[in-house]
Amino acid sequence: MPHTRYCYLLALGGPLLLAAGCGGKNKADDQLPPARVAVPVRVQQAGASSAAGPAGPSQAPQYSGTVAEGSGATLSFQVGGTITALPIEEGQRVRKGQLIAAVDATTYREQYAAQLAQAKLAEDTYRRVNEVYQQGSIAETKLVQARQQAEQARASARAAYQQVAHARLLAPFEGYIGTKQADLGAVASPGAPIATLVQLRQVKVNVAVPETEINRLRPGDRATVRVGAATDAPLTGRIDDISPVANEQTHAFTVGVLVDNPSLRLKPSMTAQVAFTQAAARQSATGPTALVLPLRAVQVDERNRHFVYLVRGNTVRWHEVQTGDLLGDGLAVTGGLTAQDQVVVDGYQKLYDQAPIKVLN
């Protein structure tokens, strides 16, 4: 009997134990942590390079800019009329005082002739009245009235002459025709644009500078400008103006840099690279030394925080840093690191906080 009972229990409990064993195995597999594979990386000591020493063109931050004319004007008539002359083309060089356009001045000449005749008549009248007044034959009020009428007539004649003069549109300075905005035979209205005149002997490079850097710059500071489309040689410029208002979307300020352009190689809309060398030298002389990391080593998260991966034994830690200027191919780190810190510079793409690593160098 005992033998029979044992076999019964075994027969009854075997399937249950087997089922329980299989179910327990599946749950245990689900709870196993994923394998932590060491990520191969290359590292660099943070103090391997720094931004110490005088700042030159290669060390100063580089900003992109666009060439614009140094000065320009939209030319328009002060009087209206049919355009009878328009001897200009876009891109044409013009001298100061050269004719840009003219409108039919027939009516204005007739008005001037009439006003001039009235002025001569009023002058003659005033002269006769003055002679009579000197003889004591008329009151002084008559003389005053005649003098006022003569002065008004002369003023009207001068105004009519200005109308005739304004029928010719002349270049206010030497430059180049940027755009021609009217056609021969069209009717020009006062103030309507006829052409734009730009001056290119000195151009302005407009640069967008981040709000974090703008207070380092001062009007008059020297800058090094490179315009690859025009010349391989670096050009010297100076800050002419700094916008007091930032762009609402980019939070960048526009800085205008004047550059001499005697060869006229620099053209509007060309792209330029600008380094504010004097500001960088001033910052280097007065500010703390910054550590420089390869640009790729510094990441930005979804909250716009700059961070690096620091080596901690066989793992890495996510670490926030404060950054400064771009220096060539590197980025200045102004806070959050020491010169002895080991930072991941390659292989960071697969890293996360406390990820295991394998250092290759």
Residue 124 domain-assigned? Answer: yes
**The predicted structure's pLDDT at residue 195:** 97
Q: What are phi and psi of 10, to 5 degrees?
A: -65, -40
Token pair belonging to 264: 């006229």
Residue 281 domain-assigned? Answer: yes
**The predicted structure's pLDDT at residue 49:** 60
Is there a single domain that holds both residue 90 and residue 160?
A: yes
The span from the CA of 132 to the CA of 138, in Å, is 7
**The predicted structure's pLDDT at residue 282:** 67
Pick the last residue of a domain from 229, 251, 285.
285
Print the domain residue range for 335.
288-359
Q: Going by C-beta distance under 8 Å and a sequence separation of 6 or more, which residues neighbour residue 344? A: 41, 42, 43, 297, 308, 309, 310, 311, 316, 351, 357
Pick the last residue of a domain from 235, 252, 285.
285
Secondary structure letter of residue 215 according to DSSP: G
Pick the last residue of a domain from 285, 314, 341.
285
**The predicted structure's pLDDT at residue 283:** 62
The span from the CA of 228 to the CA of 225, in Å, is 10
Residue 28 domain-assigned? Answer: no
Host H or E run for residue 188: strand 187-188
Closest by CA position to 312, among listed 357, 280, 274, 275: 357
Q: With both helix axes pointing from N to C terminus, report the angle between 106-134 and 140-165 in degrees, rounded to the nearest 10.
A: 160
Question: Beta partners for 178?
Answer: none
Residue 174 domain-assigned? Answer: yes
CATH number, domain of 314, equals: 2.40.420.20
Is there a single domain that holds both residue 163 and residue 119?
A: yes
In tens digits, the chain (361 residues) has pLDDT values of 444 443 333 333 444 333 344 444 454 445 544 567 999 999 999 876 654 444 444 457 789 999 999 888 999 999 999 999 999 999 999 999 999 999 999 999 999 999 999 999 999 999 999 999 999 889 999 999 999 999 999 999 999 999 999 999 999 999 999 999 999 999 999 999 999 999 999 999 999 999 888 988 999 999 999 999 999 999 999 999 999 999 999 899 999 999 999 999 999 999 999 999 887 666 654 455 568 899 899 999 999 899 999 999 999 999 999 987 776 668 888 889 998 999 999 999 999 999 999 999 8
Rounded alpha-carbon distances, angstroms, from residue 145 to 124, 125, 126? 13, 11, 9
Tell me how many domains the chain contains. Answer: 3
